[in-house]
A and B are shown apart, each in its own frame.
Chain A
Amino acid sequence: MNPFSSGTRLRDMIKAIRACKTAAEERAVVRKECAAIRSSISENDQDYSHRNIAKLMFIHMLGYPTHFGQMECLKLIASAGFPEKRIGYLGLMLLLDERQEVLMLVTNSLKQDLGHTNQYIVGLALCALGNICSAEMARDLAPEVERLLLTRDPNIKKKAALCSIRIIRKVPDLAENFSSPATSLLKEKHHGVLIAGVQLCTDLCKVSEDASNHLRKNCTEGLVRILKDICNSPYAPEYDIAGITDPFLHIRVLRLLRMLGHGDADTSEYINDILAQVASKTESNKNAGNAILYECVETIMGIEATSGLRVLAINILGRFLSNRDNNIRYVALNMLMKAISVDSQAVQRHRTTILECVKDSDASIRKRALELVFLLVNDTNAKPLTKELIDYLEVSDQDFKGDLTSKICSIIEKFSQEKKWYIDQMVKVLSLAGNYVKDNVWHALIVAISNAPDLQGYSVRSLYKAFQLSSEQVSLVQVTIWCIGEYGEMLVNNVGVLQVEEPMTVTESDAVDVLESCLTHHSTDITTQSMCLIALLKLSSRFPPSSGRVKEIITTHIGSVVLELQQRAIEFNSIIQRHQNIKSSLVERMPVLDESTFISKRAGSSQANISTEKSNQQLPSGASLKLSNGVAKPAASPLVDLLDLSLDDTPVPTSTSNDFLHDLLDVGLTNSSSSASGTDILMDLLSIGTPVQSNTTPENGSSIKGFNDILPIAKPNTATVQVVDLLDGLASNGSHPGAQSPVHPSITAYQSSTLKITFSFTKQPDKPQVTQIHATFMNLSSEAYTDFIFQAAVPKFIQLHLDPANSNHLPASGNGRITQTFTITNTQHGQKPLAMRIRIAYKVSNQERLEQGQINNFPPGL
């Protein structure tokens, strides 16, 4: 005997491990034992293998890796003695699971053991197979198990039945083989076999429709008789639990009856009586009785029961609900959720009790009750229920608040009939639990407020009041800031006061105070601060006397270390200082957001977040500042898409942005599939015009109109190209006197190191608005260009008609030229000059190239 072999007995090892005071000690002991076991295994030490595996199992339970023992288990299983086999199978079941390939090696041993003469060994094999077999093993050994189902020994029979359950679960195709043996099992007297048999039948029904029908036809009678027997049987000491004979069998049979009666009127009718008997006779003062009643109620709900039976079931549930035992109440709440579909009136009667359960101290019960309440809400009881839930929100636990808040918000949204109630409830929820409110919820609130002009004054005042009390709720703060910015003058001038409101005076400086305090508060996050800045800008326009103060506040952030804030501060400061005349138009009231578009968009994509105040936050450059405010809304989708494009957090290129860009330029963009390039083009296009200068034409609002005209309005008479008023900045570049001279010199429209384009102009004297332009393209590089395509974009007041070019192959080094003619009609001839943006795509030695440019040097008078 090896002196290093594991001489310690199992008991001693366990004692040693338990005596360890620290984890390190324990690891040392375990390591020593594992080493001993490993050497013992490698020496094929027969005497101690039994003990080794037992030790290994203990070590496994402590959580240490024990895979080196797997082969030893297999060896033990293959040995001849019962105790070795037993511990081998136990080790197998513990140390392995069905996904390991080692398991396949056991198949042969299992097969032999299944045919063994010793019934206990057969039992071991069936147990192991039932607990751990994989699909392949199931297929291989299914015939053996089938055969064993027909033996006379009840012990083997019941184990075989349960093993078959696992086989059917793993390989549903084999279900047919087990149908008839299963039915014969139901005729047995032994309870163990009956329980296993009934369970097998239940699983058969789940897996196979045929088996289900077969059982329904042949076994329903038998099952009812079984149930009747045990229900009426006198005291049977062997199976008695809490005065009921074999509650387990009761429950199994009830479950099988439910599967058989589901959807089948005849069977349901047949089992009505026995269900009524069980429901009324069973005592419910002990858990066993309640378990049976619970299963009975589930069965009644699951079949086509008579109304009398249903009433019985709901009464039982009502009793459960008022039981003091938490388990029973939990179970009742669970069942009631299913009962709602059956008889919602009855459930409504228990509404108060259910509401009480929402406030219970037990987390599981609270959760169930909340879900149930959510299902119970309908139009009539929405208001009182919401009130109750909001009252509870105040006192609820932190971990529950999240769930509760989202449920309350869904209820409010679904069932709000009047806007005022909706706004009230949302303000309350935001004040109590704003930090748990999801973003899309308060975005929806803003959409609603913007759509309800008569309630805007009321909303901003309620928000202002709420803010005074609960300024730590971030969402509330954000909504308040937005509203004060938008509707500040309503707040101060008490516009649209409703009758229920108390009089309140808020001065301009109070409003500015609110924003300033938000901005400077230490716990405000960047998003909120950004919103504050833009709201301050809006106020400086709406409250001219406070403009100086606002400017001071904004100026303090010019040196902020956060890029977003710094950028905004500088830009807004510059607007206030130098661009007073356009300031008011910039921060005009937001257009009304189309609610239906908003809702459908929100339902459609989770990415595209079209709340305008979000777009407020994303102002990367002065150019787009002009874009997002005061934009008219000719059609909802372009607006929405436009905002999409300007959002930073939609990295996924959506097809809408593609379409939109197509609309915007409509110059046959073929490769603008990435929103990045799309955005670039858009931004580039918008920044063509120089930033607004102070000498714009005032009054006639042409500049405002210019902003409004950024979106294309589909003209029915478009030529091949839709024109877009992108270059509005140019419009403000002073006025140009209409030059009368008809001679227009040609210009070099575009020149780069690889390409040169010249334009020459002809005009007909009787059509001053129309100009013909002949473009000549010259290749300045040393390689020829192929697939040469020229595209152009023009402002909206210009129409462009492109004729086809004479070729699309441009030889190198200026050896040949391509000419193309196009006609331009300037509808604002004399008022606005021509401008054009061009884009040339071509291939050079099979590589695609792209050049873009902008032509500003058109001679005047075109």
Chain B
Amino acid sequence: MIHFVLLLSRQGKVRLTKWYSPYSQKERTKVIHELSGLILARAPKLCNFVEWRGYKVVYRRYASLYFCMCIDADDNELEILEIIHHFVEILDRYFGSVCELDLIFNFHKAYYVLDEILIAGELQESSKKTVARLITAQLVETALMFNL
């Protein structure tokens, strides 16, 4: 399973975190600190997997953002790379050519997207179209509610 998802900027600022395993507030800060040091220091040509504390962390860099996912040692790393890409493509579709600023100012929407892709650390939907449809429907729902 995926234990947590982390989005880091090049400077080490956290843009999004989602935890599927119990980590206390202090532990979360520590983990983020450790992983930023580990991942941001890696040279570009190296492989996308880092072994950390007995888990594996799969990361991929998109422009100025690092998308990291921590998985168990026996999970399929290449698949997680695909899931990361899946997530990024859906974000792209939703925001229309997404950039880091979009994710900063609309982080709650990024969370909504993530919640349609992963639950309990497992993949929920493999079709980008379906995810997009669901998000839009809920947007409509929100708009309707506000009008009422």
Please report A residues at the B interface, Cβ cutoff 8 Å.
11, 14, 18, 54, 57-58, 61-63, 65, 81-83, 86-87, 90, 93-94, 97-99, 118, 120, 126-127, 130-131, 155, 158-159, 162-163, 165-166, 169, 191-192, 195-196, 199, 238-239, 241, 246-249, 251-252, 255, 287-288, 290-291, 294-295, 298, 326-327, 329-331, 361-365, 367
> Are A329 and B142 also in contact (CB < 8 A) when A127-B115, A291-B81 are?
no
* Minimum C-beta distance from A141 to chain B (A): 14
Assembly CA distance A83 to B78 (angstroms) = 36
Assembly CA distance A331 to B122 (angstroms) = 21
- Cβ of B78 and Cβ of A331 under 8 Å apart? yes
Among A93, A99, A288, point to the contact of B24 (Cβ < 8 A): A99
A-B contact pairs, 15 of them (CB 8 A): A14-B104, A63-B29, A93-B18, A97-B22, A126-B119, A131-B18, A131-B20, A155-B134, A191-B125, A196-B122, A199-B123, A238-B128, A239-B127, A361-B45, A364-B46
- Cβ of B141 and Cβ of A192 under 8 Å apart? no
* Minimum C-beta distance from B10 to chain A (A): 15
Main secondary structure of the interface of A (DSSP, over half): helix
- Cβ of A294 and Cβ of B78 under 8 Å apart? yes
Assembly CA distance A162 to B119 (angstroms) = 6
- Cβ of B126 and Cβ of A239 under 8 Å apart? yes
User: What A residues does B63 contact at CB under 8 A?
Assistant: none
Assembly CA distance A521 to B126 (angstroms) = 67
Q: Does B17 contact A (CB under 8 A)?
A: yes
- Cβ of B146 and Cβ of A83 under 8 Å apart? yes
* Minimum C-beta distance from A243 to chain B (A): 13
- Nearest A residue (CB) for B73: A334
- Cβ of A327 and Cβ of B19 under 8 Å apart? no
User: What A residues does B64 contact at CB under 8 A?
Assistant: none
> Are A327 and B112 also in contact (CB < 8 A) when A251-B76, A287-B81 are?
no
> Are A98 and B126 also in contact (CB < 8 A) when A81-B145, A131-B120 are?
no
- Nearest B residue (CB) for A365: B47
Q: A61-B16, A159-B124 are known contacts; what are 12 more A-B pairs with Cβ within 8 Å?
A: A54-B108, A83-B142, A86-B142, A131-B20, A131-B119, A162-B119, A195-B123, A248-B82, A248-B86, A287-B78, A327-B48, A327-B49
- Cβ of B78 and Cβ of A163 under 8 Å apart? no
- Cβ of A248 and Cβ of B126 under 8 Å apart? yes
- Nearest B residue (CB) for A325: B47
Among B19, B82, B120, point to the contact of A288 (Cβ < 8 A): B82
- Cβ of B112 and Cβ of A248 under 8 Å apart? no
- Among B81, B130, B148, chain A packs the most CB atoms within 10 A around the CB of B130
- Cβ of B124 and Cβ of A363 under 8 Å apart? no
> Are A97 and B24 also in contact (CB < 8 A) when A61-B107, A165-B120, A364-B51 are?
yes
User: What A residues does B112 contact at CB under 8 A?
Assistant: 86, 90
User: What B residues does A131 contact at CB under 8 A?
Assistant: 18, 20, 115, 119-120
Q: Which of B92-148 contact A (CB under 8 A)?
A: 104-105, 107-108, 111-112, 115, 119-120, 122-130, 134, 137-138, 141-142, 145-146, 148
- Cβ of A57 and Cβ of B108 under 8 Å apart? yes
User: What A residues does B82 contact at CB under 8 A?
Assistant: 241, 247-248, 287-288, 291
- Cβ of A363 and Cβ of B46 under 8 Å apart? yes
* Minimum C-beta distance from A284 to chain B (A): 11
User: What A residues does B23 contact at CB under 8 A?
Assistant: 97
User: What A residues does B79 contact at CB under 8 A?
Assistant: 247-248, 251, 291, 295
User: What A residues does B145 contact at CB under 8 A?
Assistant: 81-83
User: What B residues does A246 contact at CB under 8 A?
Assistant: 126
Q: Does B25 contact A (CB under 8 A)?
A: yes
- Cβ of A191 and Cβ of B141 under 8 Å apart? no
Assembly CA distance A255 to B45 (angstroms) = 30
Q: Which of B31-67 contact A (CB under 8 A)?
A: 32, 45-51
User: What A residues does B14 contact at CB under 8 A?
Assistant: 61-63
Assembly CA distance A99 to B25 (angstroms) = 11
* Minimum C-beta distance from A325 to chain B (A): 8
Assembly CA distance A251 to B77 (angstroms) = 11
- Cβ of A90 and Cβ of B47 under 8 Å apart? no
- Among B46, B137, B148, chain A packs the most CB atoms within 10 A around the CB of B46
Assembly CA distance A2 to B7 (angstroms) = 37
- Cβ of B124 and Cβ of A364 under 8 Å apart? no
- Nearest A residue (CB) for B29: A63
Assembly CA distance A255 to B75 (angstroms) = 10
User: What A residues does B50 contact at CB under 8 A?
Assistant: 364
- Among B45, B82, B145, chain A packs the most CB atoms within 10 A around the CB of B82
- Nearest B residue (CB) for A154: B130
Assembly CA distance A616 to B148 (angstroms) = 89
- Cβ of B129 and Cβ of A238 under 8 Å apart? yes
Assembly CA distance A330 to B125 (angstroms) = 28
Q: For the complex of A and B, list the 9 residue pairs with the smallest distance between their C-beta atoms, beginning with the closest.
A: A291-B78, A326-B47, A162-B119, A166-B120, A192-B125, A130-B119, A130-B120, A248-B126, A83-B142
- Nearest B residue (CB) for A118: B141
User: What B residues does A364 contact at CB under 8 A?
Assistant: 46-47, 49-51
User: What A residues does B46 contact at CB under 8 A?
Assistant: 326, 361-364
Assembly CA distance A501 to B104 (angstroms) = 71
* Minimum C-beta distance from B128 to chain A (A): 8
User: What A residues does B148 contact at CB under 8 A?
Assistant: 81
- Cβ of A326 and Cβ of B22 under 8 Å apart? no
* Minimum C-beta distance from A398 to chain B (A): 15
User: What A residues does B29 contact at CB under 8 A?
Assistant: 63
- Nearest B residue (CB) for A134: B22
User: What A residues does B25 contact at CB under 8 A?
Assistant: 65
- Cβ of A291 and Cβ of B76 under 8 Å apart? yes
- Among B22, B107, B126, chain A packs the most CB atoms within 10 A around the CB of B126
User: What B residues does A58 contact at CB under 8 A?
Assistant: 107
- Cβ of A86 and Cβ of B138 under 8 Å apart? yes
* Minimum C-beta distance from B84 to chain A (A): 11
User: What B residues does A330 contact at CB under 8 A?
Assistant: 47, 49, 77
User: What B residues does A61 contact at CB under 8 A?
Assistant: 14-17, 107
User: What B residues does A191 contact at CB under 8 A?
Assistant: 125-127
- Cβ of A87 and Cβ of B105 under 8 Å apart? no
Assembly CA distance A196 to B116 (angstroms) = 12
User: What B residues does A18 contact at CB under 8 A?
Assistant: 104
Assembly CA distance A199 to B127 (angstroms) = 16
Assembly CA distance A248 to B49 (angstroms) = 19
- Among B15, B16, B123, chain A packs the most CB atoms within 10 A around the CB of B123
- Cβ of B49 and Cβ of A90 under 8 Å apart? no
* Minimum C-beta distance from B94 to chain A (A): 16
* Minimum C-beta distance from A332 to chain B (A): 11
Assembly CA distance A364 to B51 (angstroms) = 7
- Nearest A residue (CB) for B27: A97
- Cβ of A120 and Cβ of B137 under 8 Å apart? yes
> Are A238 and B127 also in contact (CB < 8 A) when A81-B145, A163-B119 are?
yes
- Cβ of B111 and Cβ of A367 under 8 Å apart? no
- Nearest A residue (CB) for B128: A238
- Cβ of B47 and Cβ of A327 under 8 Å apart? yes
* Minimum C-beta distance from B136 to chain A (A): 12
> Are A120 and B47 also in contact (CB < 8 A) when A196-B124, A239-B127 are?
no
- Nearest A residue (CB) for B14: A61
Assembly CA distance A158 to B19 (angstroms) = 20
Among A120, A169, A363, point to the contact of B141 (Cβ < 8 A): A120
User: What B residues does A162 contact at CB under 8 A?
Assistant: 119-120, 122, 124
- Cβ of B19 and Cβ of A97 under 8 Å apart? yes
- Cβ of B104 and Cβ of A329 under 8 Å apart? no
- Cβ of A294 and Cβ of B76 under 8 Å apart? yes
- Cβ of B119 and Cβ of A192 under 8 Å apart? no
Assembly CA distance A90 to B113 (angstroms) = 12
Assembly CA distance A99 to B27 (angstroms) = 13
- Cβ of B76 and Cβ of A249 under 8 Å apart? no
User: What B residues does A238 contact at CB under 8 A?
Assistant: 127-130
User: What A residues does B120 contact at CB under 8 A?
Assistant: 130-131, 162-163, 165-166, 169
Assembly CA distance A238 to B93 (angstroms) = 14
User: What A residues does B123 contact at CB under 8 A?
Assistant: 195, 199, 248, 252
- Cβ of B126 and Cβ of A192 under 8 Å apart? yes
* Minimum C-beta distance from A675 to chain B (A): 37
- Cβ of B122 and Cβ of A326 under 8 Å apart? no
